[in-house]
Amino acid sequence: MLCWAVLLALIGFSQCMAKTVTVDGSKVVELLTRLANFSDHENPAVTRILFTQNDMLARRFVKNLMRENNLLIREDAMGNIFGRWEGSNPTTGVVLTGSHCDAIPLAGMYDGTLGVVGAIEAVAALQRSGFKPGRSIEVMMFTSEEPTRFGLSCSGSRAMAGTLTPEVLESKLDAGGQHFLQAANEVGYGAATTQEMLDAVRVPEGGIAYFVELHIEQGPLLERESVDIGVVTAIAAPAALEVKFAGDGGHAGGQLMPDRNDAGLAGAELALAVERHVLGTGSVDTVGTTGTFEIAPGAINSVPRDARLAIDIRDIDGPRRDGVVAAVLRSAEQIADQRKVRVASRIINQDPPATSHPDIVEAVATSADALGLSNKRMVSRAYHDSLFMARVAPMGMIFIPCKNGWSHRPDEFAKPSDIANGVSVLALTMARLSEGSWPKDEL
Amino acid sequence: MLCWAVLLALIGFSQCMAKTVTVDGSKVVELLTRLANFSDHENPAVTRILFTQNDMLARRFVKNLMRENNLLIREDAMGNIFGRWEGSNPTTGVVLTGSHCDAIPLAGMYDGTLGVVGAIEAVAALQRSGFKPGRSIEVMMFTSEEPTRFGLSCSGSRAMAGTLTPEVLESKLDAGGQHFLQAANEVGYGAATTQEMLDAVRVPEGGIAYFVELHIEQGPLLERESVDIGVVTAIAAPAALEVKFAGDGGHAGGQLMPDRNDAGLAGAELALAVERHVLGTGSVDTVGTTGTFEIAPGAINSVPRDARLAIDIRDIDGPRRDGVVAAVLRSAEQIADQRKVRVASRIINQDPPATSHPDIVEAVATSADALGLSNKRMVSRAYHDSLFMARVAPMGMIFIPCKNGWSHRPDEFAKPSDIANGVSVLALTMARLSEGSWPKDEL
């Protein structure tokens, strides 16, 4: 029933070139559905944790798909997988595209996977069209974008960008007490030491001419405004804070109200303060979330003794985001003072935002325009491997709408027609950045 | 080093009787320390869950102690343990005293245990004094005052009071999926059916002339005011509510603030509203606690979709307590409305307070006065088996100070001298209620 075939015939008026790609959205959906089967939970839920059996099966699926589409496969020491389409200009850096296939527990089937399977289909569409790449084109699957196993997001891209040290990587342990290298060795990746592994993964200077990632928006804007394509101009990097309050606890019956220092209520006040400070910037681009709120002992007849909050704050404006972080930390101190609880706060991470490269922004917007697709420039508020790739390559992203902006849940959904649009824009964007040739150039 | 020997010689001026009990606080502490060894966690923490190996060892310890003190042992079908000292007037109901020996995870060594071990020592002190009971005196250990295993507090006393039905008891399952009867059968208690078990446990009409329980205060008032003995006039029964908020969740980066319906923030507002409504009564006797606050999915990069709060509200004034319950439920609706989340609230229990019987209040106060101990009438804000015993017998309680009002924690502490005071008051109170004879009556 899913049979959105998009036949796109484009006439470049100024150059009199015909550039055609044909993308079958239903075929991409079928591939994504097959990939979704490799899951620790029953579909539609998808759970795929780094280097588990289902992750390894998904990797085999991706490599087979690359092979079927005549891509030359290479894997690095951390399990980043690359499929190369050799261009006529092998001396310059590659045009790289890709995303991830791991999935947090009970996630959906589009986050990440679209940017891998869709990218292979984009290459296939270019091949079918007769396009010949100038710069080589590579499609990749990043290792472990999600932090599930080791508590570290974007392991593969962080390492490619040279931002990881052996100390950090070996300090992150999974539930079984293993660090990344040990887990990688078990499935045939890795190296003799973590340092060797990281050295082998790092992108050489100038190795990537452009990096572009196709992704579902994970926000509601495109759907709400009926816009086909989001042209990402920047990635709002998150800051993450952990705040712990500690009181003395007590019996919920026996301890009178004036005698309490309830850590749970301190946490409740801080969660509301986060919201207040975020709204206080007056900008819709500032977001803040208390996504983790744990209290102990957590019994109905006990006054909470401990509260632990993990707080995520993002903005496209770095200094404004930092202002909110500082205000939240001040509120934590004030609340602790007023409620006579102890407080310990720490910044887990506070990364700068990343800006898309104008060449890619231009290439994406032009491609969407050429395809007759409505598009808008927008900010990615979600975190992606692109954030780290921006440190070693000109970076850009392409968004398509997803239902209600939902992601990280089983009912995550993107329409096949939107998928076809995104894959088509990615194909034309890569063609542009590759500076190759179309069969009808001579017409 | 602990050697508080309290020698109490009392002269009843009006009746010219000498009544003497000698209680060694350090001996009671030694017994409590030995009992504390039966714990799933290392001391000073005490964890003792119904019908586990350590609970069974504690039961053996209690029965041995009863036996050593010449008490006739009986156990009922639910594992309530009784040690009887036969009186000269066997036709009237008994004077019953006791408490519990189970302990929530990581609790201390005095809550409950004092009212069992201390009661056996009170009987021993009366026996040493030459007192002869009129009404028989029984010391008991209640089964499962704490709700840890089956989520139901005071199972033993509820059943004795006839307030439990087979349907309720069989609906409460432990982590292994067993209900009470199945667990009881495994350790040699129980009956053919839950109904038979409950029938066998129920107290016969008039079977108990008086019930009195010795306990640490679990509040700070006695210590703060340097009062030796609390004469409990009422038990503030808790109401327990569960409130669940449900929003739509979303990505902490991708979902803009105006698009959110954050269930966690609704919960935070409600927790603060509970505090506000409780303080709003203007009475120190009203207490309210959000002891459980769980959010899901609970990931730093996810807007909370679900929040579950368990709220405990107590007051010695039933209607005033009910007013707070109603106000909290209204706030839950208002917050849900404002934050556009769904809400489901339910009252888990809402028991009436229990009033101590004037005979017992009088007996406790007179005994404390006679011992030269300062005492005050007060309310028990904690929940005890006494609450349910009050439904089938005249009830009273004796409190002693505990450090900082702490309980349900490893550093729960009561001074040996206060323990000796409490045991002595219990002994004289039982003697009074038993209407027996002292050896010097004839002098």
B 278-337 near A (Cβ less than 8 A) = 278-279, 284, 286-295, 297-304, 310-312, 314
- A37: closest CA among A51, A53, A21? A53
What is d(CA A271, CA A309) in angstroms, rounded to the nearest whole number?
A: 8
Residue type, A41: H
| Beta-carbon separation of A380 and B265 below 8 A | no
**Residue % of chain B over a pLDDT of 90:** 83
Which residue among A315, A350, A385 closes a domain?
A: A350
Backbone phi, psi, residue A250, to 5°: 155, 175
| Alpha-carbon gap: B209 to the closest alpha carbon of chain A (Å) | 28
Which residue among A327, A350, A373 closes a domain?
A: A350
Structural domain harbouring A17: 5-236+353-442
A 152-211 near B (Cβ less than 8 A) = none
Exposure of B438 in the CB half-sphere (CA atoms within 13 A): 23
**A75-78 contacts at long range (C-beta below 8 A, 24 or more positions apart):** A75/A189, A76/A200, A76/A201, A77/A184, A77/A189, A77/A190, A77/A191, A77/A196, A77/A197, A77/A200, A77/A201, A78/A143, A78/A155, A78/A156, A78/A159, A78/A180, A78/A184, A78/A189, A78/A190, A78/A197, A78/A201
pLDDT reported for residue B253: 86
Are the beta carbons of A280 and B291 closer than 8 angstroms? Answer: no
Average pLDDT rounded to a whole number, residues B198-226: 95
Chain B residues lying within 8 Å of A299, measured CB to CB: 104, 291-292, 408
Interface probe with A: pick from B284, B331, B408, most Cβ of A within 10 Å: B408
Does residue A250 come out as left (phi exceeding 0), alpha (psi in the -120 to 50 range) or beta?
A: left
Residue A14: band (very low, low, confident or very high) from pLDDT cuts 50, 70, 90? very low
Q: Which of A218, A221, A303 is facing B291, going by the closest CB pair?
A: A303
pLDDT reported for residue B250: 84
Least confident of A43-57, A141-155, B72-86: A141-155
pLDDT higher than 60, residue A185? yes
- What is the DSSP secondary structure assignment for residue A132, as one 8-state letter? B
| Alpha-carbon gap: B20 to the closest alpha carbon of chain A (Å) | 33
Interface probe with A: pick from B287, B316, B349, most Cβ of A within 10 Å: B287
B107 & B181 share domain: yes
What is d(CA A28, CA A45) in angstroms, rounded to the nearest whole number?
A: 18
Interface probe with B: pick from A149, A154, A251, most Cβ of B within 10 Å: A251
Average pLDDT rounded to a whole number, residues A203-219: 95
**Residue % of chain B over a pLDDT of 70:** 95
pLDDT higher than 50, residue A5? no
Q: Which of B251, B262, B298 is facing A218, going by the closest CB pair?
A: B251
Are the beta carbons of B309 and B267 closer than 8 angstroms? Answer: yes
Residue B151: band (very low, low, confident or very high) from pLDDT cuts 50, 70, 90? confident
Chain B residues lying within 8 Å of A304, measured CB to CB: 290-291, 293
| Beta-carbon separation of A284 and B253 below 8 A | no
Q: Which residues of A128-207 form beta strands (DSSP E)?
A: 137-142
Sequence-separated (6 or more) residues with CB below 8 Å from residue A138: A82, A83, A84, A85, A94, A95, A96, A97, A98
Residue A352: band (very low, low, confident or very high) from pLDDT cuts 50, 70, 90? confident
Interface probe with A: pick from B218, B251, B260, most Cβ of A within 10 Å: B251
Are the beta carbons of A430 and A97 closer than 8 angstroms? Answer: yes
CATH of the domain at B218: 3.40.630.10
pLDDT higher than 70, residue B17? no
| Beta-carbon separation of A382 and B300 below 8 A | no
Highest mean pLDDT among A275-279, A293-297, B6-10, B376-380: A275-279
User: What is the total count of domains within chain A?
Assistant: 2
Residue B6: band (very low, low, confident or very high) from pLDDT cuts 50, 70, 90? very low
A227 & A263 share domain: no
Could you report the per-residue pLDDT of B87-142, keeping only the tens digit for each? 999 788 999 999 999 999 889 999 999 999 999 999 999 999 999 999 999 999 99
pLDDT reported for residue B1: 37
A128 & A76 share domain: yes
A239 touches chain B (CB under 8 A): no
Average pLDDT rounded to a whole number, residues B412-426: 97
Residue B3: band (very low, low, confident or very high) from pLDDT cuts 50, 70, 90? very low
Average pLDDT rounded to a whole number, residues A56-75: 98
A144 & A192 share domain: yes
pLDDT reported for residue A440: 64
B 245-284 near A (Cβ less than 8 A) = 248-259, 262, 264-265, 267-269, 271-272, 275, 278-279, 284
B199 & B242 share domain: no
pLDDT reported for residue B302: 87
| Beta-carbon separation of A272 and B265 below 8 A | yes
Q: Which of B220, B251, B278 is facing A382, going by the closest CB pair?
A: B251
pLDDT reported for residue A281: 97
A260 & A144 share domain: no
Could you report the per-residue pLDDT of A214-230, keeping only the tens digit for each? 999 998 899 999 999 99
ipTM exceeds 0.90: no
Could you report the per-residue pLDDT of B228-270, keeping only the tens digit for each? 999 999 998 789 999 999 999 888 888 889 999 999 999 999 9
Sequence-separated (6 or more) residues with CB below 8 Å from residue B396: B210, B211, B212, B213, B231, B232, B356, B357, B359, B360, B361, B363, B364, B386, B429
pLDDT reported for residue A106: 87
A249 & A230 share domain: no
pLDDT higher than 70, residue B378? yes
Could you report the per-residue pLDDT of B281-336, keeping only the tens digit for each? 999 989 999 999 999 988 888 899 999 999 999 998 889 999 999 999 999 999 99
Interface probe with B: pick from A232, A283, A301, most Cβ of B within 10 Å: A301
Interface probe with A: pick from B223, B255, B277, most Cβ of A within 10 Å: B255
pLDDT higher than 50, residue A169? yes
A113 & A89 share domain: yes
Angle at A300 between CA A294 and CA A306, to 5 degrees: 35
- Average pLDDT of chain A is 92
A195 & A335 share domain: no
Average pLDDT rounded to a whole number, residues B24-43: 97
Sequence-separated (6 or more) residues with CB below 8 Å from residue B241: B309, B310, B311, B313, B325, B328, B329, B345, B346, B347, B348
Are the beta carbons of A332 and A347 closer than 8 angstroms? Answer: no
Does residue A340 come out as left (phi exceeding 0), alpha (psi in the -120 to 50 range) or beta?
A: left
| Alpha-carbon gap: A283 to the closest alpha carbon of chain B (Å) | 10
| Beta-carbon separation of A291 and B310 below 8 A | no
A166 & A306 share domain: no
Q: Which of B253, B284, B409 is facing A314, going by the closest CB pair?
A: B253
Give the β-pairing of B229-235 and B395-400.
antiparallel
Q: Which of A256, A287, A289 is facing B219, going by the closest CB pair?
A: A256
pLDDT higher than 60, residue A318? yes
| Alpha-carbon gap: A132 to the closest alpha carbon of chain B (Å) | 36
Average pLDDT rounded to a whole number, residues B48-67: 97
B81 & B169 share domain: yes
pLDDT reported for residue B7: 43
pLDDT reported for residue B179: 97
- A216: closest CA among A131, A113, A117, A83? A113
A134 & A194 share domain: yes
pLDDT reported for residue B398: 98
pLDDT reported for residue A255: 87
Chain B residues lying within 8 Å of A295, measured CB to CB: 292-293
| Beta-carbon separation of B253 and A299 below 8 A | no
What is the residue whose two structure tokens read 């999600």?
A146
Report the chain B residue with the minimal C-alpha distance to residue A401.
B254
Which residue among B333, B350, B367 closes a domain?
A: B350
pLDDT higher than 80, residue A441? no
Chain B residues lying within 8 Å of A409, measured CB to CB: 249
Return the number of CB contacts < 8 Å for A and B: 227
CATH of the domain at B246: 3.30.70.360
A422 touches chain B (CB under 8 A): no
pLDDT reported for residue B440: 65
- A211: closest CA among A127, A142, A285, A131? A142
- What is the DSSP secondary structure assignment for residue B71, as one 8-state letter? P
Are the beta carbons of B285 and B264 closer than 8 angstroms? Answer: no
Could you report the per-residue pLDDT of A248-303, keeping only the tens digit for each? 988 888 888 999 999 999 999 999 999 999 999 999 989 999 999 999 988 888 89
| Beta-carbon separation of B252 and A407 below 8 A | no
- Average pLDDT of chain B is 92
